Chain A
Amino acid sequence: MIHMQGITKIYEDNGALALDNISVDIEAGEFVFIVGASGSGKSTFIRLLFREVLPTDGTLIVNGVDVPGLKKNEVPAFRRTLGVIFQDYRLLPDKTVYENVAFAMQVIEAPRRLIQRSVNNVLDVVGLQEKYKAFPSQLSGGEQQRVAIARAIVNRPSLVIADEPTGNLDPETSWDIMDIFHRINSSGTTIVMATHDKHIVDTMRRRVIAIEDGKIVRDEARGVYGYEV
């Protein structure tokens, strides 16, 4: 699913070495936590995966696609195979829950009837079918993040990447979110999630890739967070 070989990322504007010669493979269907201290390079790792940034050096294959080698006009098709989730939800404030999710399908010109069916379906998955008319400002943080998840999975991506999706949420709400991720993963979707949440990582016992100063320092199949917080 993901093949990284000798990936280095130096941000050109300030010369920061965010990732230093990283090599890693992630198989289809895996659930992977990326952990590490602030500034270690987790977000950079995530951003490389959906081509928000390009690596300075190295090979990166996602879903069989040579990501750095993509031409500009091939990027949209590639991104349609991914779902992306952020810490700050990134919902559109003047669109309802339903419209926020449907938006992801409209902009790739999905047929209208398919949109209706799929949106209702994913709102069901994240447990928000009753609030489909609400605006983001009328929702709690956890509910907003569930909308963002619904939007990320509505186009049935084979890979979902999330950058600290529970970073703004209290522990209980975080578990609701993890429960949804768990269900998505059980249906075969690969999940890569950067996180600071020791409790979640230690409880779920999934694969843990630890990054320190841009290098992978640990990669365990049923790992723990490994740092004191």
Chain B
Amino acid sequence: MKFSTFEYFFQEVALSLRRKNLMSIASIGTVAVSLFVLGVFLILVLNFNRLAGTLESQVQISVYFKDDATAAKEREAAALIRDMQGIDSVHFVSREEAMNRLKERLGDQKYLLESLDNENPLPDSLEVVVKRPDMVETAAKAISKIEVVEEAKYGQDVIEHLFDITRLVRIFGLVLMILLAGATIFIIANTIRLTVFARRKEIAIMKYVGATDWFIRWPFILEGMVLGFIGGILAAVALRSFYAAMAAKIYGTLTFFPLMPQYPFMNYVAIAIILSGMAIGTLGSAISLKRFLQV
């Protein structure tokens, strides 16, 4: 394609946007709002995924020994576990160490332990880390069958819960995204339809003098793309502020939440949103052209 042709296309788009600027602003606004909501869900889903992933990767089995287990038996059991399939590491925690950890965790409330009269009710234990999350259950079952093991515990239910939430957010987000994308495509298609209508004389003349179908279509496609692009940029800017505010809030309260760091995460989100905007815009004009531009 020639440079002068490009120039011509962009002039046409600029002219068209200016000519019906109210309609253009309305459709850019709709695109921006839809993409913003889309972006919010994208951010939520990605963060929940990350949270679930983080917790998952931290999955470990706490293995508690029976009170009457001898040190030798315990060592034997640890060796046995270490040889099991899918085990990443095994770390021995003595009952003294467990007590110290408990004290540390209680902090100011250490006095609660005074009623124990310096007796330590905690058992010796092992911290077993598995290689893959889906191995946790099998490993835990096998471990609990060892004679000196009282109990093998892991946080599976918490994680499953989180997965449920993530799945829900994802499904809800997907449905909402599809609805919003549909509405946006509709708005853009409508805007382009108006352009086609305003340009019907030009289009007729272009056909008479032998312009190709694609030459006629391009300015319209481009207009949809530009509407989507501008809407996408607005949404991306708004999302950036939204995420900064959300991060501030979360770091202030839920300190454990492993939020995606703002950079480069938000750059990727911005790119995804802007590209989605352009895709939606292009699709909108394509649909409109298919229906209203008989070339």
Residues of A participating in the B interface, judged by any CB pair closer than 8 Å = 50, 72-73, 75-80, 82, 84, 90, 92, 103-104, 106-109, 111-112, 151, 155
Contacts and interface: CB of A to CB of B under 8 A. Distances in A.
A92 B212 contact: no
B214 to A, nearest CB: 9
Contacts of B206: 107
B209 A73 contact: no
B107 interface: no
Given A79-B208, A108-B210, A90 B2 contact: no
B208 A84 contact: yes
B202 A92 contact: yes
B215 interface: yes
Given A50-B208, A90-B204, A76 B213 contact: yes
A40 B206 CA distance: 28
Contacts of B204: 90
A108 B5 CA distance: 9
Interface in B193-210: 201-202, 204-210
B175 interface: no
Main secondary structure of the interface of B (DSSP, over half): helix
Given A90-B205, A107-B209, A155-B210, 9 more contacts: A77-B210, A79-B207, A80-B209, A90-B204, A92-B202, A103-B205, A106-B4, A109-B4, A155-B209
B211 interface: yes
Given A92-B201, A92-B202, A109 B2 contact: yes
Contacts of B210: 75-80, 82, 107-108, 155
Nearest to B295: A72
A141 B210 CA distance: 25
Contacts of A50: 208
A73 B213 contact: yes
A136 B4 CA distance: 25
Contact of A109 (B5, B213, B216): B5
A119 B210 CA distance: 17
B8 interface: yes
Contacts of B1: 109
A109 B8 CA distance: 10
Contacts of A79: 207-210
A76 B212 contact: yes
Contacts of A73: 212-213
Nearest to A100: B205
Nearest to A86: B208
Interface string B212-246: 11011000000000000000000000000000000
